[in-house]
């Protein structure tokens, strides 16, 4: 593919209500939109969705914009010399990685646009491309779950109502955000909202707990009949998650910790958790997703695809991943 020119936009989506997790709250969702053109009428769209403040990752919207505009896009467009040619999106990924440490969200915005450009040129979709690369034909449809933040009013009754509304909307799984002091009773309130439904219930701490300092809270969650407990400890606590996974009966799910295929290999070496949340933008794009997927397949890890949440532009990449067979 030849990438002849690129466009960069900033998108702001106001939220109907604040989205609150253990690390912070947002009232609007801002992200960067990357559009790559091949000069033959085809365009590929990608999204870079870090937050304004670094409470989820080290990156911010401002740092991603600076790197994308000043470094990443000039590398693949060629500085106005008629564009650059690449054999595949994987080659674009390699160009974006050279001399760049981290900055996953910035790279993912450009890298996923390259995958979408290949899909547009071939008249197919991202799921089909991933299935082709991995030898894993995608499903035609997937079940979708909802992630519910901590209510702004901190009322359990509000959480119960939010869960009930989510099930009425047709979601097939419920995940609630938890934090120290907002866990055991929150799970009970969520159960009340589910009204006896057999659908899975999970919790996500976004790294808010410490082990063994919050052992009581984590033991309470372990006794709650959850499908898994997502990212209970801080992102850098890889060994801690391995130890916690052995101490609890409920599976531990890795999210922020799982930044790359290199980390995935360490999880395997340590015989760590086997439930992984694959967020395309958190790991740097779909090329890295493919590498992590192959490791998960060999290890027997079960996957699911999460969002930041980004807009529908970025979510198309997550939906493509979710259609893969290992995403259970």
Q: Which residues pair with 146 in a beta bridge?
A: 174
- Residue 150 and residue 230: Cα distance in Å, rounded? 15
Run of H or E residues at 146: strand 146-148
Nearest to 13 by CA among 43, 63, 44, 47: 47
8 Å CB contact between 275 and 78:
no
Three-state secondary-structure class, residue 82: coil
Which residue numbers are catalytic? 177, 279
- Residue 77 and residue 57: Cα distance in Å, rounded? 28
Q: Which residues pair with 153 in a beta bridge?
A: none
Instruction: Give the length of the chain.
Output: 328
- Residue 50 and residue 45: Cα distance in Å, rounded? 17
Burial of 17 from C-beta contacts in 10 A (0-12 / 13-18 / 19+): exposed
**Token pair for residue 63?**
């740092």
Greatest CA span in the chain, whole angstroms?
Answer: 63
Handedness of CA 94, 69, 125, 82 (dihedral sign): negative
The CA R_g of the chain, rounded to the nearest whole Å, is 20
Q: Please report, for residues 23, 37, 50, 97, 199, the alpha-carbon distance to residue 163 in angstroms, rounded to integers and kept in the order given.
A: 21, 42, 26, 41, 12
């Amino acid at each position: 593919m030849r990438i002849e020119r690129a466009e960069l936009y900033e998108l702001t989506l106001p939220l109907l209500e604040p989205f609150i997790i253990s690390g912070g709250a947002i009232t609007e969702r801002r992200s960067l939109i990357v559009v790559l053109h091949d000069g033959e009428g085809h365009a590929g769209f990608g999204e870079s969705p870090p937050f304004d403040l670094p409470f989820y990752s080290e990156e911010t919207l401002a740092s991603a914009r600076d790197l994308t505009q000043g470094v990443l896009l000039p590398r693949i467009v060629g500085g106005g010399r008629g564009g650059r040619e690449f054999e595949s999106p994987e080659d674009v990924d390699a160009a974006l990685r050279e001399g760049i440490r981290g900055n996953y969200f910035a790279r993912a915005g450009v890298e996923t646009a390259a995958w979408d450009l290949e899909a547009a040129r071939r008249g197919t979709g991202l799921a089909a491309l991933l299935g082709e690369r991995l030898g894993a034909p995608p499903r035609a449809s997937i079940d979708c779950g909802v992630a519910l933040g901590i209510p702004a009013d901190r009322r359990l009754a509000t959480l119960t109502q939010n869960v009930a509304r989510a099930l009425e909307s047709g979601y097939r799984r419920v995940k609630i955000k938890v934090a120290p002091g907002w866990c055991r009773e929150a799970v009970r309130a969520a159960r009340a909202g589910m009204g006896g439904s057999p659908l899975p219930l999970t919790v996500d701490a976004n790294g808010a707990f410490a082990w063994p300092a919050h052992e009581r809270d984590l033991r309470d969650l372990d006794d709650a009949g959850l499908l898994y407990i997502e990212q209970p400890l801080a992102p850098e606590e890889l060994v801690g998650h391995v130890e916690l996974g052995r101490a609890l009966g409920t599976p531990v799910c890795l999210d922020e910790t799982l930044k790359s295929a290199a980390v995935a290999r360490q999880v395997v070496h340590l015989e760590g958790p086997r439930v992984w949340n694959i967020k395309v933008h958190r790991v740097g794009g779909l090329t890295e997703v493919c590498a992590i997927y192959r490791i998960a397949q060999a290890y027997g890890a079960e996957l699911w695809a999460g969002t930041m949440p980004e807009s529908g532009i970025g979510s198309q990449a997550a939906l493509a991943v979710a259609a893969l067979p290992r995403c259970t």
